[in-house]
Chain A
Amino acid sequence: EVRLVESGGGLVKPGGSLRLSCAGSGFTFNSYTMNWVRQAPGKGLQWVSSISSGSSYKYYAESLKGRFTISRDNAEKSLYLQMDSLRVEDTAVYFCATEFVDTVATPHQVFDSWGQGTLVTVSS
Protein backbone atom coordinates (compact mmCIF):
# COMPACT_ATOMS: atom_id res chain seq x y z
CA GLU A 1 0.00 0.00 0.00
CA VAL A 2 1.29 3.42 -0.97
CA ARG A 3 1.73 5.71 2.00
CA LEU A 4 2.79 9.34 2.07
CA VAL A 5 3.21 11.16 5.36
CA GLU A 6 3.86 14.89 5.46
CA SER A 7 5.37 16.72 8.38
CA GLY A 8 6.93 20.05 9.23
CA GLY A 9 3.94 22.34 9.08
CA GLY A 10 3.13 24.85 11.77
CA LEU A 11 2.75 28.51 12.64
CA VAL A 12 5.37 30.88 11.27
CA LYS A 13 5.60 34.67 11.07
CA PRO A 14 5.62 36.48 7.75
CA GLY A 15 9.13 36.43 6.32
CA GLY A 16 9.96 33.21 8.12
CA SER A 17 10.92 29.79 6.80
CA LEU A 18 9.69 26.23 7.08
CA ARG A 19 10.84 22.94 5.66
CA LEU A 20 8.19 20.38 4.86
CA SER A 21 8.96 16.69 4.55
CA CYS A 22 7.07 13.83 2.97
CA ALA A 23 8.01 10.24 3.74
CA GLY A 24 7.02 7.67 1.16
CA SER A 25 6.55 3.94 1.54
CA GLY A 26 4.91 1.04 -0.23
CA PHE A 27 6.15 1.97 -3.69
CA THR A 28 9.37 2.42 -5.62
CA PHE A 29 9.95 6.00 -4.55
CA ASN A 30 12.91 6.62 -6.84
CA SER A 31 10.86 5.81 -9.94
CA TYR A 32 8.26 8.52 -9.57
CA THR A 33 8.04 12.23 -10.13
CA MET A 34 6.85 13.75 -6.86
CA ASN A 35 4.74 16.82 -6.33
CA TRP A 36 3.52 19.37 -3.82
CA VAL A 37 -0.03 20.69 -4.05
CA ARG A 38 -1.55 23.15 -1.61
CA GLN A 39 -5.02 24.20 -0.57
CA ALA A 40 -5.74 27.43 1.26
CA PRO A 41 -8.50 27.22 3.88
CA GLY A 42 -11.85 26.90 2.14
CA LYS A 43 -10.25 27.29 -1.28
CA GLY A 44 -9.36 25.11 -4.24
CA LEU A 45 -6.26 23.17 -5.17
CA GLN A 46 -3.06 24.83 -6.36
CA TRP A 47 -0.07 23.03 -7.80
CA VAL A 48 3.12 24.15 -6.09
CA SER A 49 6.08 22.20 -7.44
CA SER A 50 7.25 18.97 -9.07
CA ILE A 51 10.55 17.11 -9.10
CA SER A 52 11.56 14.32 -11.44
CA SER A 53 12.58 10.93 -10.16
CA GLY A 54 16.30 11.65 -10.32
CA SER A 55 16.01 15.34 -9.36
CA SER A 56 17.15 16.47 -12.80
CA TYR A 57 14.01 18.50 -13.41
CA LYS A 58 12.31 20.83 -10.98
CA TYR A 59 9.26 22.93 -11.71
CA TYR A 60 7.54 25.63 -9.70
CA ALA A 61 4.44 27.72 -9.79
CA GLU A 62 5.58 31.07 -11.12
CA SER A 63 4.48 32.98 -8.05
CA LEU A 64 6.62 30.78 -5.82
CA LYS A 65 9.86 30.77 -7.76
CA GLY A 66 12.76 32.01 -5.75
CA ARG A 67 11.03 31.43 -2.43
CA PHE A 68 10.29 27.69 -2.49
CA THR A 69 12.78 24.90 -3.24
CA ILE A 70 11.82 21.30 -3.87
CA SER A 71 14.23 18.45 -3.29
CA ARG A 72 14.23 14.74 -2.60
CA ASP A 73 16.39 12.05 -1.09
CA ASN A 74 15.69 8.77 -2.82
CA ALA A 75 17.79 6.79 -0.37
CA GLU A 76 15.58 8.08 2.42
CA LYS A 77 12.39 7.89 0.28
CA SER A 78 11.67 11.46 1.22
CA LEU A 79 10.47 14.60 -0.51
CA TYR A 80 11.08 18.09 0.81
CA LEU A 81 9.84 21.62 0.32
CA GLN A 82 11.95 24.45 1.69
CA MET A 83 9.75 27.52 2.03
CA ASP A 84 11.43 30.89 2.60
CA SER A 85 10.16 34.45 2.81
CA LEU A 86 6.73 33.12 3.73
CA ARG A 87 3.70 35.31 3.21
CA VAL A 88 0.24 35.30 4.76
CA GLU A 89 -1.12 34.05 1.43
CA ASP A 90 1.04 30.91 1.70
CA THR A 91 -1.23 29.71 4.49
CA ALA A 92 -2.57 26.36 3.32
CA VAL A 93 -2.59 22.63 3.76
CA TYR A 94 0.35 21.27 1.79
CA PHE A 95 -0.05 17.83 0.25
CA CYS A 96 2.62 15.68 -1.31
CA ALA A 97 1.48 13.45 -4.14
CA THR A 98 2.90 10.96 -6.57
CA GLU A 99 2.53 11.23 -10.30
CA PHE A 100 0.31 8.63 -11.89
CA VAL A 101 1.81 5.91 -14.05
CA ASP A 102 -0.66 3.83 -16.01
CA THR A 103 -0.68 0.12 -16.71
CA VAL A 104 1.52 0.51 -19.77
CA ALA A 105 4.05 2.53 -17.79
CA THR A 106 3.08 5.87 -19.28
CA PRO A 107 3.43 8.69 -16.77
CA HIS A 108 0.68 11.26 -16.52
CA GLN A 109 1.29 14.45 -14.67
CA VAL A 110 -1.75 14.01 -12.51
CA PHE A 111 -1.79 13.22 -8.84
CA ASP A 112 -2.38 9.64 -7.85
CA SER A 113 -1.50 8.91 -4.24
CA TRP A 114 -1.70 11.73 -1.72
CA GLY A 115 -0.61 12.29 1.84
CA GLN A 116 -2.96 13.60 4.50
CA GLY A 117 -1.44 17.08 4.27
CA THR A 118 0.33 19.36 6.70
CA LEU A 119 -1.02 22.77 7.66
CA VAL A 120 1.19 25.81 7.27
CA THR A 121 -0.09 28.98 8.91
CA VAL A 122 1.69 32.25 8.22
CA SER A 123 0.56 34.89 10.64
CA SER A 124 2.00 37.56 12.89
Chain B
Amino acid sequence: EIVMTQSPATLSVSPGERATLSCRASQSVSSKLAWYQQKPGQAPRLLIYGASTRATGIPARFSGSGSGTEFTLTISSLQSEDFALYYCQQYNNWPPLTFGGGTKVEIK
Protein backbone atom coordinates (compact mmCIF):
# COMPACT_ATOMS: atom_id res chain seq x y z
CA GLU B 1 0.00 0.00 0.00
CA ILE B 2 1.30 3.46 -0.89
CA VAL B 3 1.29 5.76 2.12
CA MET B 4 0.64 9.43 1.46
CA THR B 5 1.99 11.96 3.95
CA GLN B 6 0.91 15.59 3.94
CA SER B 7 2.64 18.49 5.60
CA PRO B 8 2.14 20.62 7.47
CA ALA B 9 -0.94 19.42 9.33
CA THR B 10 -2.03 23.03 9.76
CA LEU B 11 -0.98 26.05 7.76
CA SER B 12 -1.76 29.54 9.02
CA VAL B 13 -1.87 32.08 6.23
CA SER B 14 -3.15 35.62 5.85
CA PRO B 15 -5.65 36.40 3.08
CA GLY B 16 -3.84 37.40 -0.08
CA GLU B 17 -0.72 35.44 0.80
CA ARG B 18 0.59 32.33 -0.90
CA ALA B 19 0.02 28.89 0.59
CA THR B 20 2.23 25.93 -0.21
CA LEU B 21 1.05 22.45 0.77
CA SER B 22 3.16 19.31 0.46
CA CYS B 23 2.33 15.69 -0.21
CA ARG B 24 4.81 12.85 -0.19
CA ALA B 25 4.30 9.29 -1.42
CA SER B 26 6.04 6.29 0.12
CA GLN B 27 6.94 5.14 -3.40
CA SER B 28 6.65 6.67 -6.83
CA VAL B 29 3.14 7.40 -8.06
CA SER B 30 4.38 8.95 -11.31
CA SER B 31 2.02 11.89 -11.94
CA LYS B 32 -1.09 10.11 -10.73
CA LEU B 33 -1.81 12.45 -7.90
CA ALA B 34 -4.96 14.40 -7.15
CA TRP B 35 -5.81 17.21 -4.73
CA TYR B 36 -9.15 17.86 -3.09
CA GLN B 37 -10.58 20.69 -1.03
CA GLN B 38 -13.10 20.01 1.73
CA LYS B 39 -15.06 22.54 3.75
CA PRO B 40 -16.88 21.69 6.98
CA GLY B 41 -20.04 19.70 6.42
CA GLN B 42 -19.40 19.35 2.71
CA ALA B 43 -18.15 16.66 0.39
CA PRO B 44 -14.66 17.05 -1.01
CA ARG B 45 -14.17 18.86 -4.30
CA LEU B 46 -11.66 17.75 -6.91
CA LEU B 47 -9.12 20.50 -7.57
CA ILE B 48 -6.22 18.92 -9.42
CA TYR B 49 -5.58 15.61 -11.19
CA GLY B 50 -2.55 14.29 -12.97
CA ALA B 51 -0.49 16.23 -10.43
CA SER B 52 -0.90 19.54 -12.25
CA THR B 53 -4.14 19.72 -14.27
CA ARG B 54 -6.90 21.79 -12.80
CA ALA B 55 -10.36 20.25 -12.79
CA THR B 56 -13.19 22.06 -14.50
CA GLY B 57 -14.07 25.36 -12.90
CA ILE B 58 -11.09 25.49 -10.55
CA PRO B 59 -9.56 28.98 -10.36
CA ALA B 60 -6.10 29.56 -11.76
CA ARG B 61 -4.77 30.52 -8.33
CA PHE B 62 -4.66 26.78 -7.59
CA SER B 63 -1.69 25.01 -9.10
CA GLY B 64 -0.15 21.61 -8.62
CA SER B 65 3.34 20.39 -9.30
CA GLY B 66 5.63 17.44 -8.75
CA SER B 67 6.04 13.87 -9.84
CA GLY B 68 7.33 10.64 -8.40
CA THR B 69 7.12 11.00 -4.66
CA GLU B 70 7.05 14.76 -4.00
CA PHE B 71 4.10 16.98 -4.80
CA THR B 72 3.01 20.52 -4.04
CA LEU B 73 -0.29 22.36 -4.13
CA THR B 74 0.11 26.11 -4.31
CA ILE B 75 -2.63 28.64 -3.75
CA SER B 76 -1.15 31.84 -5.10
CA SER B 77 -3.27 34.40 -3.27
CA LEU B 78 -5.57 33.04 -0.62
CA GLN B 79 -9.17 34.09 -0.78
CA SER B 80 -11.58 33.79 2.13
CA GLU B 81 -13.26 30.79 0.49
CA ASP B 82 -9.96 28.90 0.30
CA PHE B 83 -9.67 28.33 4.02
CA ALA B 84 -10.44 24.63 4.21
CA LEU B 85 -8.96 21.16 4.44
CA TYR B 86 -6.90 19.82 1.56
CA TYR B 87 -6.20 16.20 0.76
CA CYS B 88 -3.93 14.51 -1.75
CA GLN B 89 -4.71 11.09 -3.25
CA GLN B 90 -2.63 8.71 -5.32
CA TYR B 91 -4.09 6.55 -8.07
CA ASN B 92 -1.00 5.06 -9.65
CA ASN B 93 -0.94 1.81 -7.76
CA TRP B 94 -4.27 0.51 -6.56
CA PRO B 95 -6.13 -0.97 -4.90
CA PRO B 96 -6.07 0.61 -2.52
CA LEU B 97 -6.55 4.21 -3.53
CA THR B 98 -4.94 6.16 -0.74
CA PHE B 99 -5.28 9.65 0.67
CA GLY B 100 -2.98 11.79 2.70
CA GLY B 101 -4.00 12.82 6.19
CA GLY B 102 -4.88 16.34 5.13
CA THR B 103 -3.65 19.89 5.62
CA LYS B 104 -5.88 22.46 7.24
CA VAL B 105 -5.40 25.96 5.85
CA GLU B 106 -6.52 28.44 8.46
CA ILE B 107 -6.66 32.18 8.72
CA LYS B 108 -3.63 33.73 10.37
Contacts and interface: CB of A to CB of B under 8 A. Distances in A.
A109 B91 contact: yes
A109 B89 CA distance: 10
Contacts of A117: 43
Contacts of A110: 34, 46, 49, 89, 91
A80 B38 CA distance: 24
B96 A62 contact: yes
Q: Interface majority SS on B: helix, strand, loop or mixed?
A: loop
Contacts of B100: 44
B102 A44 contact: yes
Residue of B53, B89, B95, B102 with most partner-chain A CB within 10 A: B95
Q: Interface majority SS on A: helix, strand, loop or mixed?
A: strand
A114 interface: yes
8 smallest beta-carbon distances between A and B, as pairs: A114-B43, A110-B34, A47-B97, A109-B91, A59-B95, A45-B99, A44-B102, A110-B49
Interface in B23-77: 32, 34, 36, 38, 43-46, 49-50, 53, 55
Contacts of B96: 47, 59, 61-62
B50 A114 contact: no
B82 to A, nearest CB: 19
B55 A111 contact: no
A45 B46 contact: no
A44 B101 contact: yes
